[in-house]
Amino acid sequence: MQSKSAKVSIAIVSLILGIMLAVQFKTTASNNSAQLPTRVEDVAQELNSVTQERDALAEEVISLREKLGNVRKNDEAMADLQDELQKTSMAAGTMAVEGPGIILTVNDIPRKIQAGEDPNDSIVHDSDLFTLVNDLKASGAEAISINDQRITAMSEIRCASTLILINTRRVGPPFVIKATGNPDMLESGVNISGGWLSFMKQWGYQINLQKSEKVLIPAYKGPIRFEYSVPVEKGEKAE
Partner 1 sequence: MWLIIIFCLLIGLAIGFQMPVLLPLIYAKYMSIAILAAIDSVFGGIRGYMEDGFDTTIFVSGFIVNALLAAGLAYIGDKLGVELYLAAVIVFGVRIFQNLAIIRRYLVKKY
List of residues contacting partner 1 (CB under 8 A): 1-3, 5-7, 9-28, 30-31
C-beta of 25 vs 199, nearer to partner 1: 25
Residue with smaller CB distance to partner 1, 5 or 162: 5
Least Å from the CB of residue 12 to partner 1: 8
The sheet carrying 97-107 orders its strands as 149-150, 143-146, 175-180, 97-107, 206-217
Residue 114 is classified by DSSP as: P
CB 102 within 8 A of CB 186: yes
Specify the pairing of strand 169-171 against strand 97-107: unpaired
For the packed helices 126-138 and 196-203, what is the interaxial angle rounded to 10 degrees?
A: 140
Residue 32 or 202: which CB sits closer to partner 1?
32
Q: At 216, which helix (H) or strand (E)? A: strand 206-217
